[in-house]
Amino acid sequence: MKKILALTDFSKNAAHAIEYALSLAPLWQTEVLTLLHVYEAPVIFQPDPSGGMSPDGAPGLVNYALIAEQSEALAANSRQQINAFREQLSTRYSSISITAEVVEGLLGDVVNERLQSTGSDLVVMGIGEKSGLEKVLIGSNAIKAIEGIDGPLLIVPEQATDNVPKKIALASDLEILSDTNIRQLEQFVMRLPANELQVINVNMNPADPVNQERVSAIKAQLHRLNVVTHLQQASNVEAGLEEFVIQHQISLLVFLHHERSFLGQLFHKSIGKQIAWHTRIPILRLKG
């Protein structure tokens, strides 16, 4: 993890996530951390004498001049905050080159462009409020942007306290991993003090020869990470993961998001009681 892209909205949650990543920087031999704040320009309407309608049904015209003025004010304020934060971090982490950037645009689009232009190995973001797996997977607008971010994404809840994860689990549907995902896992895990990678699957039959072959294939793919596999039965996937994390004292959970996976499908469930786990551990999302 030589280069880290850290997202900030200047909240305590974001600062906590960045501090979490920086605490791991010596292990990863991180050289560069880029602070990134992304904002969207406000849409401002003014009365329209001709009777034109704004999107909310009220007569109005888009006031582009005022939008530009307000956008620049937002940018100036954000630059002031992010530069102050950068200076504070640079004083404490002098061995790392810390840069800062404020960009107008859509979060997912800007992050993907910066991943390409900076060659960053990891994106870091914080999550707060009633943080939980449901928030991580299907929460606010910022969290929904997770689906659009292409690189490895470390999501750190405000409750996370174990800065150096010693027990790491990969939630798996026993699908073969891509070479990219294997490389990302090794890059993330191998310098951390975890002597095993726990691979957990929920509600697939452990006696099925096909599943046994899949387990063997994953062990072969991840042989450098000393894999221990678990096939667990539960009332549902979410409950099974919660139980496993608690029982095994997991301090970081990894999952691969693709449309076919059981975890990827959680992105599309409605908010409510579909997911009951309020996580206190960071989650690393890899994209399939």
Let me know: does 163 contact 252? Beta carbons within 8 Å.
no
Q: Is the pLDDT of residue 160 over 70?
A: yes
Q: Which three-class secondary structure state does DSSP give residue 118? A: helix
Q: Is the pLDDT of residue 267 over 90?
A: no
What local confidence, expressed as pLDDT, does residue 129 receive? 59
What local confidence, expressed as pLDDT, does residue 217 receive? 96
24-38, 45-59, 95-109, 159-173: the lowest-pLDDT one? 45-59
What mean pLDDT is predicted for residues 186-204? 92
| pLDDT bracket for residue 221 (50, 70, 90) | very high
Q: Is the pLDDT of residue 229 over 80?
A: yes
Q: Cα separations (Å) of 190 from 130, 147, 213, 226?
A: 31, 26, 25, 10
Distance, in Å, from the CA atom of 109 to the CA atom of 147, rounded to the nearest integer, reads: 11
Distance, in Å, from the CA atom of 58 to the CA atom of 261, rounded to the nearest integer, reads: 44
Q: Cα separations (Å) of 177 from 3, 122, 244?
A: 24, 18, 22
Average pLDDT of the chain, as a whole number: 81
| pLDDT bracket for residue 47 (50, 70, 90) | low
What mean pLDDT is predicted for residues 270-278? 35
Distance, in Å, from the CA atom of 216 to the CA atom of 124, rounded to the nearest integer, reads: 32
What local confidence, expressed as pLDDT, does residue 260 receive? 54
The amino acid at residue 100 is: A
Residue 182: how many CB atoms within 10 A of its CB? Answer: 17
Q: Cα separations (Å) of 105 from 193, 218, 224?
A: 38, 39, 40
Distance, in Å, from the CA atom of 278 to the CA atom of 109, rounded to the nearest integer, reads: 28
Q: Is the pLDDT of residue 121 over 70?
A: yes
Residue 205: how many CB atoms within 10 A of its CB? Answer: 11
55-59, 199-203, 244-248: the lowest-pLDDT one? 55-59
Question: Which residue has 């928030």 as its token pair?
Answer: 135
pLDDT tens-digit profile of 63-90? Answer: 555 556 677 888 899 999 999 999 999 9
Q: Which residues, listed in sequence order, are joined to residue 75 by a DSSP beta bridge?
A: none
Number of continuous H segments (helices) and E segments (strands) in the chain: 9, 12
Q: Is the pLDDT of residue 182 over 70?
A: yes
Q: Is the pLDDT of residue 44 over 80?
A: no
Share of the chain above pLDDT 90, in %: 48
Q: What are φ and ψ of residue 169, in 5° steps? A: -125, 140
Domains of the chain: 3-122 (3.40.50.620), 160-287 (3.40.50.620)
